[in-house]
């Protein structure tokens, strides 16, 4: 396998992430708001369907990983599913933002069905997209350079969506948010499909199976072995899950926090604009930071910045309510850490693929990378569930002035809970993850020997 990845491949792969994340960013940033304040669904119901859909994903995401790893075609095993999944998900995306057109029981039934279907079709595309990375180069440095491209373009998509999303919705809807969300979904669907065909044309895997056993067909039962024997995958799951729940909890809750707790919805785009720029900076600087600092410290750094963000928001809320500078600083801190974490977790998963091949004798990029898709969706759903249930618990009522108790609850959900989850992520990483400098067979075996208790 050639270790070098061409500029055309990097650019095409990155532009694929731009279309892909334009299609998912509105789901994680605005769907809760769209469901509650535009379509008229109850917050608790929305949070519940978010979580229920992820229970389904716990089965379907690994199944999709098995399907991709078993695919044999002249176009490779990844690109056909990227195109198929994108076409299906683009259609469902438009349908999802048509929910406001329904009323009564049909509204609740349609919303649940559309959201579950969105998760299923997104899986078809997202798993093969990310699981291509180990198949494009065996060199960790090349993977780190490649990962910057999709993460930069993905961060750009989130930046534009968070900063200008509501404004674009207002313009395209001529003041009607329901029509605006629908028209934005139509536009995104077109860009999404174009990006998928660009990947299909220009991004081709080069890796061949390392051994005959790696070329064998997978069964769903193999998933239990692949995950069960890979202790580093399980460590990574705990690390990333707690981090991303905190991240997406903040992302989904911010619009409520600024609109109702601070009473100034105009602060939301300010926060998102600075945060988006900081995330791009975090991804862009990741290779340089990784080259200067020991990798074992990078995840702890990624967790530290969001905790700092929560401290800044706490100080702002107590001493300088509504201070735009502190709000921007808080947004920059959390998303700079998120940028580092997003780039790092993809490289870590590629290392876990190599480690899993050593542990099981089978190379299973798509099965292992299906965990990333499942984690991101589950984190978003868990964040949505916490927001939905939390809003109900603190007594939130849409489009009215909130009580003092409700405002206090909003502050805790924006500041306290994310900080706790970020601290948990850092602890799990420190305690259980070992592939800090990539997979090295000799180092892993030495560490395993040293970890064994000494017999008397």
Residue corresponding to tokens 């390392």:
210
Reported pTM: 0.67
CATH H-level, domain 220-435: superfamily? MFS general substrate transporter like domains (1.20.1250.20)
What is the model's pLDDT at position 247?
86
Count CB neighbours of 207 within 10 A: 16
pLDDT digits (tens, 9 = 90+) for 418-427: 899 999 999 9
Mean pLDDT of all residues belonging to the chain:
81
Please tell me the distance from the alpha carbon of residue 27 to that of residue 31, in angstroms, as a whole number.
Answer: 5
Please tell me the distance from the alpha carbon of residue 429 to that of residue 108, in angstroms, as a whole number.
Answer: 40
Q: Are 441 and 358 in contact (CB under 8 A)?
A: yes
pLDDT digits (tens, 9 = 90+) for 50-84: 878 877 777 777 788 778 878 887 888 889 999 99
What is the mean predicted confidence (pLDDT) over 102-117? 93
What is the mean predicted confidence (pLDDT) over 279-285? 85
Write out the residue limits of the CATH 1.20.1250.20 domain(s) in the chain: 1-204, 220-435
Per-residue DSSP letters for 100-169?
GG--HHHHHHHHHHHHHHHHHHHHHHHHHHHHTHHHH-S-HHHHHHHHHHHHHHHHHHHHHHHHHHHHHH
Q: Which residue has the higher pLDDT, 170 or 396?
A: 170
Residue corresponding to tokens 């494009």:
136
Residue in 172, 141, 153 with CA at minimum distance from that of residue 18: 153
pLDDT digits (tens, 9 = 90+) for 214-271: 445 655 566 666 666 777 888 888 888 889 888 878 877 787 888 878 778 788 888 8
Per-residue DSSP letters for 355-411?
HHHHHHS---HHHHHHHHHHHHHHHHHHHHHHHHHHHHHTT--TTSPPPHHHHHHHH
Helix, strand, coil tally for the chain in percent (to 5): 80, 0, 20
Residue in 181, 182, 129, 135 with CA at minimum distance from that of residue 153: 129
Please tell me the distance from the alpha carbon of residue 331 to that of residue 278, in angstroms, as a whole number.
Answer: 8
Q: Decide if pLDDT at 411 tops 60.
A: yes
Q: SS3 of 78, please? A: coil
Q: Name which of 95-104, 110-119, 342-351 the model is least confident about.
A: 342-351
CATH architecture of 1-204: Up-down Bundle (1.20)
């Amino acid at each position: 396998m050639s270790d070098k990845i061409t500029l055309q491949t990097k650019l095409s792969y990155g532009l694929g992430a731009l279309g892909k994340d334009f299609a998912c960013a509105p789901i994680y940033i605005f769907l809760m708001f769209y469901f509650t304040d535009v379509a008229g669904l109850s917050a608790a119901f929305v949070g519940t369907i978010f979580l229920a859909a992820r229970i389904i994903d716990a089965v379907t995401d690994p199944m999709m990983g098995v399907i991709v790893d078993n695919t044999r075609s002249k176009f490779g095993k990844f690109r056909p599913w990227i195109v198929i999944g994108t076409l299906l998900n683009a259609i469902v995306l438009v349908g999802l933002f048509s929910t406001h057109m329904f009323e009564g029981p049909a509204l609740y039934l349609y919303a649940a069905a559309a959201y579950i279907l969105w998760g299923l079709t997104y899986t078809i595309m997202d798993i093969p997209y990310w699981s291509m990375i180990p198949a494009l180069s065996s060199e960790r440095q090349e993977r780190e350079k490649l990962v910057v491209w999709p993460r930069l373009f993905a961060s750009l998509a989130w930046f534009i969506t968070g900063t200008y999303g509501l404004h674009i919705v207002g313009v395209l809807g001529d003041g009607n948010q329901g029509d605006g969300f629908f028209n934005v979904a139509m536009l995104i669907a077109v860009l999404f499909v174009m990006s998928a065909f660009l990947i299909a044309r220009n991004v081709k895997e080069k890796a061949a199976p390392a051994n005959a056993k790696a070329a064998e067909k997978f069964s769903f039962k193999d998933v239990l072995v692949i995950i069960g024997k890979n202790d580093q995958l399980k460590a990574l799951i705990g690390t990333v899950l707690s981090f991303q729940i905190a991240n997406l909890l903040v992302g989904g809750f911010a619009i409520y926090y600024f609109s109702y707790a601070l009473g100034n919805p105009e602060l939301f785009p300010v926060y998102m604009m600075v945060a988006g720029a900081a995330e791009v900076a975090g991804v862009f600087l990741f290779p340089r930071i990784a080259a200067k600092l020991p990798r074992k410290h990078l995840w702890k750094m990624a967790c530290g910045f969001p905790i700092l963000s929560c401290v800044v928001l706490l100080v702002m809320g107590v001493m300088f309510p509504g201070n735009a500078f502190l709000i921007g600083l808080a947004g920059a801190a959390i998303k700079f850490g998120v940028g580092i974490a997003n780039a790092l977790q993809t490289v870590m998963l590629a290392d876990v693929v190599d480690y899993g091949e050593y542990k099981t004798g089978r190379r299973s990029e798509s099965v292992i990378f299906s965990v990333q898709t499942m984690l991101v969706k589950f984190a978003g759903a868990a964040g949505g569930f916490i927001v939905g249930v939390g809003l109900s618990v603190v007594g939130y009522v849409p489009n009215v002035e909130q009580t003092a108790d409700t405002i206090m609850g909003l502050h805790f959900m924006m500041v306290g809970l994310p900080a706790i989850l970020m601290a948990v992520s850092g602890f799990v990483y420190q305690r259980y993850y070992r592939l800090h400098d990539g997979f090295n067979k000799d180092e892993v075996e030495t560490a395993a020997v040293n970890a064994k208790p000494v017999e008397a």
